[in-house]
Structures are given as structure tokens and as C-alpha cells.
Structure 1
Amino acid sequence: MSAPRLLLCASASGGGKTTVTCAVLQALVNRERNPVAFKCGPDYIDPMFHSEIIGAKSRNLDLFFLGEDKTRYLLEQNSAGSGLALIEGVMGYYDGIAMSHEASAYHLARVTETPAVLVLDGRGSALTLAAAVHGMQTFRPDSGIRGVILNRVSPMLYPRLKACIEAETGLTVYGYLPNLPDCALESRHLGLVTASEVAGLKEKLRKLAAQAEQSLDLDGLLALAASAPALNPKPVDLPEPVEGQPVIAVARDKAFCFYYADGLELLEQMGARLVEFSPLEDEDLPQGACGLYLGGGYPELFARALADNAPMRRAVHAAVTGGMPTVAECGGFLYLQDTLADGEGKAWPMAGVFPAAARNTGRLGRFGYVTLTAQTDGLLCRAGEAFPAHEFHYWDSTAPGTDFRAQKPQSDRGWDCAFHTPTLYAGFPHFHFWARPELARHFVAAARRHNQTT
């Protein structure tokens, strides 16, 4: 039986989706309702906040990466046994690819038949709030919007706003959060700072949960979530796992923390044993490692510390150049450069796999969803094969690679990127192993072969 589920959405970024999601999650944890969190889209950081809160899993649901069937399947699998699956939307509710609703929060709500609750910033408006709700509700006849939560409104004004919106739209207003400056979540160039960096996060979450209990109709939200129909997803056929449990070393610390949890679990399903290590703190790769996964993150913020750890830089250089199968995405790719500039522009030595320099361009470079088509046979796939990916970075390299062709969806824009050899994928595009599970199996199989020859 499918878990009760809700999707929290907004009319635009910055409307308070993450704050309200955190408040509801923490309140439900306090009630021992065992919630599971999901994030619509490719964002890595919001799920880290969810995990920090619930102490359990938080996952991404991305229709561009996964398609409809795998999205429904992973939602069902990851929410099994939970008291509530709470999905946080992305951007504005209808905002998808290339001015369409494709891969939007609305698309996700429709595909998964999840009731949506609109989080609306109530500052500086009165009757116009009802007009905004009505417009969002009726823009599509199957909008799925079933309720409203008001954010940043005063307790004194809320009853009148609630009555007005409900009378004009027929939707239920499930409460409000007042302006809570002490609970603000800071941002940086890739979005919110990571959960581990937020000063006093636990205290902020305690305050948010207490406020949610006071001014949100949590019982009403749970009842709405329970109205969602069963998902009944189609089963997903996966490749046969690799034997031998080859060890893949996964870089995991403050500098490297951007991973899709479902993707890591898929590597394990394909036969890998994942062992985490820290390029900041450790001096060598884990014992027995025969594969290397360098995910994204913020290595530029820790460039000096990474440079100071010369033994690890040498170990990674020796592993990659020695043929250890390696996946290095964005931040991991920056670590493989000859030098990496920090936020002040000072260049620091890195692992030196590529004779190239990485520096801050001061703006987003190649940004958004792309389809990668391999120009050469390599670790992940053969020439001509394609899979979805995503780029989002301010730092760039003097040698970004040319072994894949990246093509923007519904656009003529494209570019060459990344390196692809029989033992290496390294480039700025991030990808999700569940998009094409064969990629995970190819990586694990290569690690096993490397283990047998060393």
C-alpha cells in the first residue's frame, strides 16, 4: 500500500518551500510519524537538510532523469512503511524545461497523483493573495492544488487572509508561518549552504517545529495526504549484479557531498561495496579500493585544505592515472585539475590528473539539463549512446573535455564536454545512475576487472 503523500509547491523560488518543508518534517518526526522526504528536481542541498532533520532517507524525484515509470517506482520504494512522503517542489509550480511544464513540480504531482499544497508568501498583499491562489489553481484544469499555506504573515492578519482565500477559491488554508528571521537558512552560489554548515540548525528546526504545531493544521495536512491514491508502479528491470563485491571508494566530506542516494544504492545493488573516505582528512584511499567515485560539492571552498593534504592528492593521482575506474563529477572533476583557484582567486595544487587550471568565472556557465551523447567508447557507455545529465557551476576549467556532446533539451544549443576513457568519466555534468542503470553496472564491472588485474 502506498504511503500518504503531499507535495509542497510555490509560485516562485524564495517563497519559503524549504522552510515550510523543514517545519512540517521536524514536527512530524517529533510526533513519531516516520516521514520520508523527497525533492523535485536535481538539487543536492535540500535533501541534505531533509536528512539532517529526519535522520533517515531523503531522495530526489527528477522526471528528466528518471522518466515517469521509474519516478513512480522510486517514490513507492522509498516511502514504503513511512507515515508520510513529503515532496518539496522546485522553482515555481509550473516551471519546467524551456518554458514548458516538463519536469516541473506540477508534472511530478500529476504523474504521481500527489495532492499539492501551495506555499504562498503573504507579505504586502491582501485580496491579491486570493487572486494569486486562484490563478495558480486554475491555470491547468488538473493543477492538483488542494490547499494553501501562508508564509511570513502576522498572527493578527492571518484569520482574515484565511477567510478571504477560502471564500474566493474554495481551497482550504492549512495555516501559516510568521516571519522567523532567527530560522533563516543562508545561501551561496549553488543555493543553500549545506546542512552541516548552518549554525544552530537543530535549534532552528526546534523553533520551526514548535511554530508548525502552533500555527499549521498538521492533522488536516495528514488527512489530505491520506487521500492520495495507490501508486501501483510498474516494476523496473535491472541488469544482473556483478559478483565479487568490488570496493568503490566514495569521497564524502564537507568538500564532496553531492550524491544521489538512490544512485549510490544502485551501485550497491549492482554488486559494489561502497567505502567512504575524506580527501580533506585521510591520507590514502580505503584499503582494497578498485574503483573511485569523486562526487560534486564545494572543493573551491576548501582548496587550501585539499592542497595541504599532499598524500591524498598523490594517492588519487596514482589511482586514476594507474587505471582505477573513476567517476568524477563537477567538484570531483575540479579536484583532478592541476590547480584550483579559491574564492579569492589564489590557485592551489590539486591531484594533477589533467594539466589544466580551474577558476571562478563569476557567473553560471553551462547551466541546466542536458543529454550527453558519447563521442568515444568508455567507462560508462559506447560511442553514440546517450543519457540525461545536469550542469550547474561557477568554476570552469581550461580543459573541460570533448568526449561527450551535451545538448540542451528543446534547444539548438550544445557543447562538447567531459573526458571518457575505458577507465574514466570526468567532467562538469552530473548524472543519476538510475537514469540508465547499465551505467552503474558498467562502473562496477570495471572495478571488478581492475581488482582482478592488480
Structure 2
Amino acid sequence: MAAGCGARVVLVAAMASGQGKTTVTAALARRLVRAGKRVRVFKCGPDFIDPMLLERACGAPVHNLDLWMVGAEECRRRLGEAAREADAILVEGVMGLYDGAPSAADLAREFGIPVLAVLDASAMAQTAGAVAQGLRDYGPVQMAGVVANRVASAGHAAMVKASLRDIPLIGSLPRQDKRLPKRHLGLVVPGEVEEVEQMLDSLADQIEFDDAAWNALPLLAPLPEQPAPADRPLAGRTIAIARDASFIFVYPANAELLQQLGARLVYFAPLDDEPVPADADAVYLPGGYPELHGPALEKATRWRDSIRDAHAHGLPIVAECGGMMAIADGLTDKQGQRWQMAGLLQGEVVMQPRLAGLGMHAMPTAQGELRGHTFHYSTMRSDLVPQAHTVKQRDGAQGEAVFRIGALTASYFHGYFPSNPAAVAAMFLGAPR
């Protein structure tokens, strides 16, 4: 296929979480790459971990798509850009096909993307046809076909195929002896999994794939390249971003936007006791897993001193979720062990056995709402009075506390920066928020 002619595209969905959407998406991506295709992968909804694995599978950054958080026009732009650069586009859904508002099905219908349904066939055979037809007709959605996951044999796959009637079986994948381990926020970081490349290659080897059915899918038309934004309010400013195993949750679109706004990005590793870079004009502390690195963060005295010094000198600091946890007075992990944190934000973080916050939220600012999400297993106990609260997208109820102290903005809220570039520029400039 010539570059710029368009791309085959499917939304990989399922009836529920746990059916194997990420495994199948990764297997398809790696298989198509090994066949010489240029592959782009997207992830529905807010997610950091799955995109890391999918990036390893396809070799390109994985962006998020969501009609509310990202917005329909930005989703359209990103899909059109991918169609200009790639031969194949895979969009991994979230939860069940119709779960959420907006759902993965809503996204598929908005852009005319056919759905590739992943069915966990390990405990069913002919019933797979009823499930596939229900997924197709309930919305309805355009059904590209089915991938039967965790099949026991070729005969098992044949029974599933016969049950689908007018829906093609595009692929099947056997049960896996090795699975990516889980963590309370999802799949572990791919860099922590030994032989992840071999696992991806093995998945690509094992997936049975109907090339003719794939090639029969329609092409998504590309969009012409868009000019870069003319407004660059962060021009000449250097933003230091914490990046190590404790600070890993950054939307690729967030870093892109900061650069589009004119910022120069530099990175430092608090876990290695690296201080805030001396040339930084602002600091971004993204989320991650500080609760797994309490001893190292407690010993990182240069880092802790430097972030307090940066705040004292008026540097804008944006601390999201794990970033906020790391600048509290202390963090108590799930084993009950307390670790000293940076002590910039008065309060104690305590890990909880159950989910403490989940969902789409919007943060109010002087420039309008900044959209994003929250997902955490800890609570912040503080006598500080929040300057604002996020608003839950689902019902408009009060959400996460937002602390604003000087040029510091700290919250459990993860912002999706392209949803309000002006608000993001104001935060990193230390302007009224």
C-alpha cells in the first residue's frame, strides 16, 4: 500500500474486561509489523500501562482516544494523521464494548470504525456466536469479525467459527502458559517484564490470522497534515519532568503539547537522587508508583531538597497523583511502613486495600475546564484547605481536591493537557489559575 492512501482500521473490543483485548491487540500489532506493515495503535479512554506495552508491540507512540476527555475533533485528527502514516490502525477498547459514557462503541460509531470482538472461548464453544451477534446488534456496531482467545485446539476454533454465522472469524489465539503479571493499576511496566520482546514475538507466532478477511476491510481516509499552533506561550522555558520507575504516567500527548507550546523538555530521576535541573523554569511531577519505592525516595535527599528549593524560588510545579504523593510529608505503604517524602505539601498519604478514586473528571481553572481522570489506591490526609475540586464527568459531583500553594498545583487528578492548552500554559507559567 502506498503511503498516504489510508489504513485498515479496527476497534478491538470485548464483552468485558479480562477477555484478552490487550494480548490480542499486541499480538496483531506485532504480527502486522513483522509482515512489513506500518502499524499505529491507540487506546480508548484514560490508560498509561497498556499503551506502554502496545508501544513495544508496534514500535510507535500510543495515544489515547476518548470522545469526552480527548474530544471528537482531536480524535478525528489523530486517526487521520495515523491513516496518513500507517497501513494498519488498531484501537484497543476499554472494559466492555458498551461500558461507559461515552463507550468504545460510541467511538467506533463516531468514526465508522468496524469492531473486532475478542471472545474468551476457554469455557464456551457455540455460544460464542450468540455473544458476537449480541455485541454487534445491541448498539448496533459494524462488526469486522471475531478473534477467539484462549482456544484449546483447532477443533475448538472450528466450532467457534461455525457458530458465528455471518460474522467472520478473523483470528484465534491459544491459551498462554505465560501471562504478563498484574499490578493494582493494571499490567506491570513492560520494562520490568523479562523477555517482553520474546513474549510479543511468541504471541505473533501463535495467532491464527485470516489475511483475506483483514484485507477486505475498508480503508480509513487520511487527513492532510495540520499546521503547528502559532501560539507558543512557553517559548524559551525549560520544563523538567520527573521520569523513572516511580514517575511514569505521562500521556504522550501531554509532552507533545508542552513542546508545541514552545517548551524545552528535560528529564531527571528522583529515584537516582537527581535534583531538579538547575536550568528548569518549571517542574512536572507525573503519576506513577511512589508507594513501591518508599526506601529510595526517603534516601533521595538531594531530590527532596531540590523540589522544596524550587518551590521556594517560585518555580511552577504541577504534581499529579503519584507526583503529589511524593511531595507529601510521608507515605505509608500497604505493609504499614511509613516513608519520609519531600515534605513540600503538608499531609500524609496512606495506601488503601481498595480503590479510592476512579473516573473521568474535569478540573476548573481560570481558563476553563481541564479534562482528565483519576485512578488511585491511596488517600491524602491533610489539614490544608483545597483551593478547588475537580468535577466528576459522570454526575457532576465533587471530585478530587486541588491544592494550589504559590506556583504549585497538586491533585490526584491526571490532566489531559490538549483538552485546554491555555490552562496548561498558565499552570507552567505560574499565572492565575
Whether TM-score is above 0.5 comes out as yes
Deviations 1:265-289 (A, max 9, x none): 0100000000111111143222311
Aligned mate of 1:60, from 46, 61, 64: 64
Structure 2: distance between partners of 1:416 and 1:176: 42
Gap runs ≥5 in structure 1 = 375-380, 450-454
Matches for 1:357-368 after TM superposition, within 5 Å: 357-368=348-359
SS in 2 for 1:248: strand
- Whichever residue aligns with residue 272 of structure 2, its letter is E
Distance 2:300 2:394 in 1: 44
Distance 1:275 1:200 in 2: 29
The answer to whether the 8 Å contact 1:84/1:222 transfers is no
Alignment of 1:162-311 (within 5 A): 162-167=160-165, 170-182=166-178, 184-212=179-207, 215-218=208-211, 220-224=213-217, 227-230=218-221, 232=223, 238=229, 240-242=231-233, 244-311=235-302
Aligned equivalent of 2:159, options 161, 184, 207: 161
Aligned length: 427
Match of 2:12 in 1: 8
Check the 8 A contact 2:132/2:164 in 1, yes or no: no
Alignment deviations for residues 267-318 of structure 1 (CA, whole Å, 9 cap, x no partner)? 0000000011111114322231111000001111011111111111111111
Q: State the AA in 2 paired with 1:437.
A: P
Judged with a 3 Å threshold, the aligned counterparts in structure 2 of structure 1 residues 283 and 275 are, in CA distance, closer, same or farther, namely: same
Seen in structure 2, the aligned counterparts of structure 1 residues 370 and 166 have a Cα distance that, compared at 3 Å, is same
Deviation readout 1:57-91 (Å, 9 max, x if unpaired): 11111222122111111222345311211111100
SS of 2:85's equivalent in the other structure is coil
CA contact (8 A) 1:72 1:231 kept: no
User: C-alpha deviations, 1:382-430, integer Å up to 9, x for none?
Assistant: 5xx3232211100111128522222223426324511125522111011
Query: Which whole-Å CA distance do the structure 2 matches of 1:432 and 1:401 have between them?
Result: 25
Q: Residue 111 of structure 1: CA displacement? A: 1.6
State how far apart, in whole Å, the 2-side matches of 1:188 and 1:332 are.
Answer: 19
Mean Cα deviation higher: 9-18 or 275-284: 275-284
Moved >3 Å (runs of 4+) = 231-239, 443-447
Deviations 1:138-163 (A, max 9, x none): 1023x122211100012232343244
Greater displacement, 85-94 / 408-417: 408-417
Secondary structure of 2:236's counterpart equals: coil
2:41 aligned residue: 37
Q: Match for residue 122 of structure 1?
A: 121
| Change beyond 3 A, Cα 1:313–1:33 | same
Deviation of the 1:181 alpha carbon? 1.8
CA distance in structure 2 between the partners assigned to 1:241 and 1:197 by the alignment:
37
Amino acid at match of 1:112: F
Which residue of structure 2 aligns with residue 398 of structure 1? 381
Does residue 1:87 correspond to 2:91, yes or no? yes
Structure 2 equivalent of residue 327 of structure 1: 318
Separation (CA, whole Å) in 1 of partners of 2:394 and 2:84: 35
Give the distance between the partners of 1:236 and 1:136, measured in 2 at CA.
39
Alignment partner, residue 417 of structure 1? 401
Secondary structure class of the residue paired with 1:8: strand
CA 136–243 in structure 1, closer or farther in 2 if over 3 Å, else same: closer
Aligned to 1:452: none
Q: What's 2:328 paired with?
A: 337
Query: How far apart, CA to CA, are the structure 2 residues paired with 1:113 and 1:216?
Result: 23
How far apart are 1:211 and its partner, in Å?
Answer: 0.9
Alignment-mate amino acid for residue 81 of structure 2: Q
* CA deviation after TM superposition for structure 1 residue 325, in Å: 0.7
Contact 1:250 1:275 (C-alpha < 8 Å) held by counterparts: yes
Distance 1:234 1:139, change over 3 A: farther
RMSD: 2.3
The structural deviation recorded for 1:243 is 6.1
What is residue 377 of structure 1 aligned with on the other side?
Answer: none
| Equivalent residue letter for 1:205 | L
Instruction: From 403, 417, 420, give the equivalent of 1:436.
Output: 420
Q: Return the alpha-carbon distance in structure 1 between the equivalents of residues 68 and 388 of structure 2.
A: 19
Q: Do the aligned partners of 1:401 and 1:427 also contact (CA within 8 Å) in 2?
A: no
Partner of 2:133: 134
C-alpha distance in structure 1 between counterparts of 2:385 and 2:159, whole Å = 54
Say yes or no: does 1:146 pair with 2:144. yes
Using the alignment, how far apart are the partners of 2:234 and 2:324 within structure 1?
Answer: 29
Alignment TM-score, normalising by the size of structure 1: 0.88
Alpha-carbon distance in 1 for matches of 2:225, 2:202: 41
Residue 258 to residue 216, structure 1, CA distance change in 2 (3 Å): same
1:201 corresponds to which letter in structure 2? Answer: V
Task: Report the CA distance shift for 1:132/1:392 in structure 2 as closer, same or farther (over 3 A).
Answer: same
